[in-house]
Amino acid sequence: MTRRNWVALDNASNIFLAARSDIDPKVFRISAEMDQEVDPEVLQEALDLTFERYPLFHAVLRRGIFWYYLQDSDLRPRVRPETDYPCAPIYQPDRRNLLFRVLYRRRRMMVEIFHALSDGTGALWFLTDLVDAYCRRRCQAGDPRGQSEPARVPVHDLSTDPFAQYFRRGRGSGADGEPAGRDEFRHAAAPAALSVEGPGSPAARPSRRRRRLFDRRIQRVRGTRNPDNRTRVVELGMAADPVLELARSRGAATTVYLTALFLKAVRQSSPGPESPATLTASVPVNLRQFFPSSSARNFFATIRVGHDFGQGHDEIAAICADLSGQFSAGATPEALEQKLRRLIRLERMPPLRIMPSPLKNLILRSVNRASNRGLTVAVSNLGLVRLPDAAESRVAAMMFHTAAVRPQFCAMTHAGRLTISFTSPFVQTGHVREFARLLTDQGIGVTVAASRVIEAELGVVNLPRHRTRRHRPGREHR
């Protein structure tokens, strides 16, 4: 008789289930572009090897009365040619399927993951091991490049919930090292009644800047929805060093600089670019950099940054300076820990705990919708990726993008190549055009790869009329 392991879904993942929709199925993709066409048989062998090391990826998602949980399964993944649009839905209620898929097309191999299973870092670990195993298998098949020794990687199991490990009341720091903000963790181990920050404490008090962000009317991007709810993907590829130099010349980190460019681009592509408006961006922060964890499960928090346009400080340098200050204040271990402890306390409140999961989903969905109203765009940067030696020379570029309910970009750098993938639920690509031109105006060479989303681009017409939305030029970005 089979007794399957199971774990309750972690803190961050619950929101993905509540917030998923036809437009945003909460799926993201990380791809690697190889130097040769992908061999599906070798890729399958590599997947079988990698899959064994990731018990987390064996999981299927099930719904309890009050919460969701991940349960171990005997399912085996099969590599498939890419035939669907990027980031097509993976999780379907009442069906027990794996929460990820591995695809290939020409020189690209892709891993698509339902976000409730893992985050970008976890997915990147998986893809790295997959590419490494693939390259080693190719090497064994007679290609002299690369090595044939098996990779030694930690097992990423089902059970570790880093949120609970670090932030739940009564749980101390489980890290091997001494993470930043250790005193805060001792504080977290105290009963909640003693550890709650008072409204007057400095940490609990929102900054004036932050209050201003929430008080002001946030400009949101509008447009014509893609006909069958697919995500529009536009990949911009460029050399990483010149962009890094540009960011340095503005005294900003790459993520801050790219976020500033993005806000500026959205502003320029919007109607009425002279009127005052606040544009905001949601930026995920990988918590592993502050709270060491080898778990591949979701372990990130988001911070919100923004800039007030139309007040005479709309140059890139001024936006960078404004955003840098907000990043510095928001992305500290103390600030993140406090935010997460507050969220987890909310999640553990008795009235919410005894609420059946469909009702809980309704509440979380409303909270998410309200939160979305305060966001213009989203940004995610996985940073510089270095693969194991066997794979490094064989991978030409790596790409990362996600299904999005609002315009978003995901960036990653590999082998000196920065790839910025814009995704959007809208047909219009005006913000990407402005972003690309902001870069090319400064002498950066940019290549563009875009997905096709409308009949005119695809050259086929098989769309029921009711699924399209009428174009409303007055309210849309261009």
Partner 1 sequence: MRRCQACRVDVEGDWQSCPLCHLPLQGRATPDPLPRVPLVFSRGRVLRVLFGCSLAVILGSFASQLLLHRGPAGIGVLRSVWLGVVAMWWVVLMAVRKRRNAAKGTVYLVLVIGGVSAYWDYLTGWHRWSLSYVVPIVSACSIVAVLIAVRVMRMEVGDHIVYSGLIALLGLVPILFLVFGWAPNPIASWVCVAVSGAGLVRLLGWFPDARRELAKRLRL
Residues in contact with partner 1 by CB under 8 A are 1-4, 6, 8, 22, 33, 64-67, 69, 71, 82-86, 94-95, 105-106, 108, 227-230, 233-236, 353-354, 429, 432-433, 436-437, 440, 445-452, 455, 457-460, 462-464, 467
Q: Which DSSP helix (H) or strand (E) runs through 421?
A: strand 417-424
State the amino acid at position 70 in one-letter form: L
Q: How far apart are the first and last CA of the chain?
A: 59
- For the bound state, the minimum distance from the C-beta of residue 417 to partner 1, rounded and expressed in Å, comes to 14
Residue with token string 């978003």: 408
Radius of gyration of the chain (CA): 22
Please, what is the minimum distance in Å from the beta carbon of residue 17 to partner 1? 15
Q: Looking at the DSSP assignment, which residues form a beta bridge with residue 238?
A: 418
- 413 or 429: CB nearest partner 1: 429
Query: Nearest distance from residue 181's CB to partner 1, in Å?
Result: 29
Pick the closer one to partner 1 by CB: 249 or 440: 440
Cβ neighbours around 35 below 10 Å, total: 11
Supply the minimum distance, in Å, between the C-beta of residue 407 and partner 1: 13
Of residues 135 and 438, the one with the C-beta less far from partner 1 = 438
What are the DSSP calls for 136-158, one per residue? HHHHHTT-SSS--SPP------S
Residues 6+ apart with CB under 8 A from 79: 40, 43, 44, 47, 102, 103, 104
Instruction: Give min distance, CB of 182 to partner 1, in A.
Output: 30
∠350-338-349 over CA atoms, to 5°?
A: 5
From the CB of 175, what's the least distance to partner 1, in Å?
A: 26
Tell which residue, 433, 396, 285, has the closest CA to residue 36: 396
* Least spacing, CB of residue 99 vs partner 1, in Å: 17
The three state secondary structure string of 39-106 is CHHHHHHHHHHHHHCCHHHHCEEEECCCCEEEECCCCCCCCEECCCCCCCCCCCCCCCCCCEEEEEEC
Q: Which is nearer to partner 1, 467 or 471 (CB)?
A: 467
Q: How far apart are CA 429 and CA 452, in angstroms?
A: 12
- Of 121 and 423, nearer to partner 1 (C-beta) is 423
Q: How far is the CB of 273 from partner 1 (least distance, A)?
A: 17
CA–CA distance, 5 with 379 (Å, rounded to integer): 35
Q: What is the CB neighbour count within 10 angstroms for residue 190?
A: 12
| Shortest reach from residue 233's CB to partner 1, in Å | 6
Nearer to partner 1, 174 or 227 (CB): 227
CB distance 304 to 336 below 8 Å:
no
The smaller minimum CB distance to partner 1, of residues 226 and 286, is found at: 226
233 or 336: whose CB is closer to partner 1? 233
Q: Which is nearer to partner 1, 85 or 374 (CB)?
A: 85
Q: Whole-number minimum distance, CB 455 to partner 1, in Å?
A: 7
Q: Cα–Cα distance between 204 and 78 in angstroms, integer?
A: 48
**How far, in Å, are 48, 147, 397 from residue 68 at the CA level?**
27, 42, 36
Rank residues 2 and 274 by Cβ distance to partner 1 and give the closer one: 2
